[in-house]
């Protein structure tokens, strides 16, 4: 990074977001030799790295893909305390990686980005932070996540609730739940972790369910000291563990994508879990989904149903009508008293990149271009927006395997994109831009495959109000890795320093 006399900080690659995605990009660039001070800069609005693993610290928060797969393949961690480690360990892993890959100096934390504008004449992105600072970069890499902006539901009376209320991603550690009745709105991925964790501490928990999730047993286990020693010292042990998890996710992935054998097997496991853990038919009926498995995220848990059977936990299935000062009133007229309200109501996942205003070539606004739903070639590059590579962009989410696997593939693609510009020693000025026909063909393919997918069988956070699935990747993780492993230069219009090829 170099600071000009004009106060503008300049670098080759500017990453926005210091979660698994943005940090992984910085690590990949360091590993590829981009080690100069002005090669990479990573901005984040928060004052610590970690992304969702910094923001989500509610009781019970942990990953739901085993950590031997939910990490960078080049940085295995033999120190995981358990198969599905808690949020704090994952955040600590990211901090350790920052030091290991020499990325600490590249961080500019406490920097909230508002706008990025492409300066076509100079071939640079101008990026403005909320506090007035300006950055300039040859390549812009927004890595702001799909699940970084909590959704606060619109419910009459919510603001008038007299007690503490907060979203799971904004957990208030100062609120002592002991002796208090806690209402939890939602039964998604966060709720199924937080409710078992607080039941027994709170005086009682009332869970308000809109639709029950499909679940699978979570085979969590503590790693003993001996197990960790094997991970540390036996060559290939961690790789083998990762392979085993990978194989399991191949089966669940096939099930979600509708392959008959895998689907029948995984469905049978889910149904058996419900039968075994919910012997009471009335309660079981309440937790039996009425939509096909996989349409909403399938959740891994072994504690959800036993928790719902506790005498101090109540599952309410009547629709929430309003929040009063002292509780929640459901559509059947019953008021459920609550002292604390936890909003486990998810994230604005389909509003991809919404925190940023991004202006590309000829003044085009990315969100205007995306008014029918976000789209990008391989989820990363967009016509009209030169030298822009998105991470965790449109249609790169997965419900059944590790998002980090996808992010690592994207970081590798980014490194190849930089090679298009001439690599580490290239002068500023050259640019690449995905061809509109290439992006269009890709989008038609992806949307056609998604139209046949289970995700169109119900409404979920994967879909825009118009029904377009903008979050999920329709294929396997292996397919995504294969398609991103070798960037095809023919997909791009490239203008080198000598401007041999015109962009537009
Ligand atoms: C509770 C929870 C559990 C999860 N568990 C799993 C799991 O087990 N397995 C799995 O595969 N996936 C899981 N996910 C999905 C998770 O989103 C991804 O795995 C991954 O962590 C995403 O990383 P990211 O860097 O793309 O985004 P994030 O982690 O969301 O990071 C984005 C960063 O961008 C920053 N940012 C946003 N806007 C701006 C701005 N305008 N200016 C500057 N900075 C900005 C944010 O502060 C944040 O640090 C989980 C998500 C949540 C919320």
pLDDT band at 1, cuts 50/70/90? low
Q: Which residue has the CA at smallest separation from atom 26 of ligand 1?
A: 145
Same fold for the pair 2-149+349-495 and 150-213+297-346: yes
pLDDT confidence of residue 293: 93
- 441-478 burial, b for 16+ CB within 10 Å, e for fewer? ebbeebbeebeebbbbebebbbbbeeebbbbbbbbbbe
pLDDT band at 428, cuts 50/70/90? low
Q: Which residue has the CA at smallest separation from atom 6 of ligand 1?
A: 63
Angle at 148 between CA 142 and CA 149, to 5 degrees: 115
Q: Which residue has the CA at smallest separation from atom 23 of ligand 1?
A: 20
Regarding the beta carbon of 65 and ligand 1, being less than 6 Å apart is answered yes
Give the Å distance between the CA of 48 and the centre of ligand 1.
13
At residue 45, the 3 state secondary structure works out as coil
Nearest-atom number in ligand 1 for the CA of 64 is: 8
Q: Is the pTM of this model over 0.85?
A: yes
pLDDT confidence of residue 500: 36
pLDDT tens, residue by residue, 308-347: 999 999 999 999 999 999 999 999 999 999 999 999 999 9
Give the Å distance between the CA of 241 and the centre of ligand 1.
24
pLDDT confidence of residue 503: 38
CA distance 293 to 273: 14
Q: Report the percent of the chain where pLDDT is more than 70.
A: 97
Q: Report the percent of the chain where pLDDT is more than 90.
A: 88
CA distance 313 to 478: 41
The number of beta carbons lying within 10 Å of the beta carbon of residue 222 is 9
- Ligand 1, from 20, 128, 144: best to mutate by most atoms within 8 Å of Cβ? 144
Q: Which residue has the CA at smallest separation from atom 7 of ligand 1?
A: 63
pLDDT confidence of residue 323: 98
Give the Å distance between the CA of 52 and the centre of ligand 1.
4
The DSSP H or E segment spanning 166 is strand 165-167
Q: Does residue 496 contact residue 422 with C-beta atoms inside 8 Å?
A: yes
Q: Does residue 369 contact residue 390 with C-beta atoms inside 8 Å?
A: no
pLDDT tens, residue by residue, 470-490: 999 999 999 999 999 999 999
At residue 192, the 3 state secondary structure works out as helix
pLDDT confidence of residue 461: 86
Q: 150-213+297-346 in CATH: which number?
A: 3.50.50.60
pLDDT confidence of residue 504: 37
Give the Å distance between the CA of 59 and the centre of ligand 1.
18
Angle at 139 between CA 136 and CA 141, to 5 degrees: 100
- Enter the tokens of residue 330: 């459901």
Q: Does residue 406 contact residue 480 with C-beta atoms inside 8 Å?
A: yes
Parse the chain into domains and list their residue ranges.
2-149+349-495, 150-213+297-346
Q: What is the mean pLDDT of the chain?
A: 94
Beta-strand pair 9-16/134-142? parallel
Instruction: Name the architecture of domain 2-149+349-495.
Output: 3-Layer(bba) Sandwich (3.50)
**How far is residue 162 CA from its own chain's centroid?**
32
CA distance 336 to 181: 10
Give the Å distance between the CA of 392 and the centre of ligand 1.
9
Mean pLDDT across 55-63 = 98
Judged by average pLDDT, the poorest of 159-163, 369-373, 460-464 is 460-464
Mean pLDDT across 361-378 = 96
Mean pLDDT across 216-238 = 96
- Enter the tokens of residue 409: 């593939």
Residue among 194, 241, 256 nearest 455 (CA): 256
pLDDT confidence of residue 422: 84
pLDDT tens, residue by residue, 75-116: 999 999 999 999 999 999 999 999 999 999 999 999 999 999
């Amino acid at each position: 990074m170099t600071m000009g006399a004009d106060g503008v900080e300049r670098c080759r690659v500017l990453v926005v977001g210091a979660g698994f995605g943005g940090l992984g990009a910085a690590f990949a660039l360091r590993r590829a030799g981009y080690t100069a001070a002005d090669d990479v800069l990573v901005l984040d609005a928060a004052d610590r790295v970690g992304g969702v693993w910094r923001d989500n610290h509610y009781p019970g928060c942990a990953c739901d893909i085993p950590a031997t797969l939910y990490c960078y393949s080049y940085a295995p961690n033999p120190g995981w305390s358990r198969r599905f480690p808690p949020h704090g360990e994952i955040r600590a892993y990211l901090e350790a990686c920052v030091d290991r890959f020499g990325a600490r100096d590249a961080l500019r934390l406490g920097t909230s980005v508002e706008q990025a504008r492409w300066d076509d004449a100079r071939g640079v992105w101008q990026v403005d932070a909320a506090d007035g600072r300006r950055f300039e970069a040859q390549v812009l890499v927004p890595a702001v996540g799909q699940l970084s902006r909590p959704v606060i539901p619109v419910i009459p009376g919510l603001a008038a609730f007299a007690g503490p209320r907060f979203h799971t991603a904004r957990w208030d550690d100062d609120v002592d739940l002991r002796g208090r009745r806690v209402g939890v709105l939602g039964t998604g991925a966060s709720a199924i972790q937080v409710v078992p964790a607080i039941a027994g501490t709170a005086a009682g928990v009332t869970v308000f369910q809109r639709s029950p999730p499909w679940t699978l047993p979570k085979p969590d286990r503590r790693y003993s000291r001996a197990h960790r020693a094997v991970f540390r010292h036996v060559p290939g042990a961690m790789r083998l563990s990762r392979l085993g998890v990978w194989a399991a996710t191949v089966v669940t992935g096939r099930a979600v994508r509708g392959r008959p054998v895998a689907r029948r097997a995984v469905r049978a496991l889910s149904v058996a879990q419900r039968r075994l853990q919910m012997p009471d038919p009335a309660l079981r009926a309440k937790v039996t989904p009425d939509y096909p498995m996989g349409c909403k995220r399938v959740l891994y848990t072994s504690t959800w149903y036993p928790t719902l059977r506790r005498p101090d936990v109540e599952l309410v299935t009547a629709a929430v009508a309003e929040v009063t000062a002292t509780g929640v009133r459901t559509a059947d007229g019953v008021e459920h008293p609550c002292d604390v309200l936890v909003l486990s109501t998810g994230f604005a996942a389909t509003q991809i990149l919404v925190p940023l205003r991004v202006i590309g070539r000829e003044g085009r606004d990315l969100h205007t271009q995306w008014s029918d739903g976000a789209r990008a070639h391989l989820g990363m590059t967009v016509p009209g927006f030169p030298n822009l590579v998105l991470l965790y962009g449109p249609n790169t989410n997965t419900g059944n395997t590790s998002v980090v696997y996808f992010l690592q593939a994207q970081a590798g693609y980014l490194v190849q994109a930089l090679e298009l510009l001439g690599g580490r020693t290239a002068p500023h000025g050259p640019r690449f831009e995905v061809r509109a026909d290439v992006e269009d063909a890709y989008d038609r393919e992806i949307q056609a495959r998604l139209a046949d997918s289970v995700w169109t069988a119900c409404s979920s956070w994967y879909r825009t109000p118009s029904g377009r699935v903008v979050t999920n990747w329709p294929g396997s993780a292996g397919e995504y890795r294969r398609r991103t492993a070798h960037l095809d230069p023919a997909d791009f219009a490239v203008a080198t320093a000598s401007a041999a090829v015109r962009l537009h």
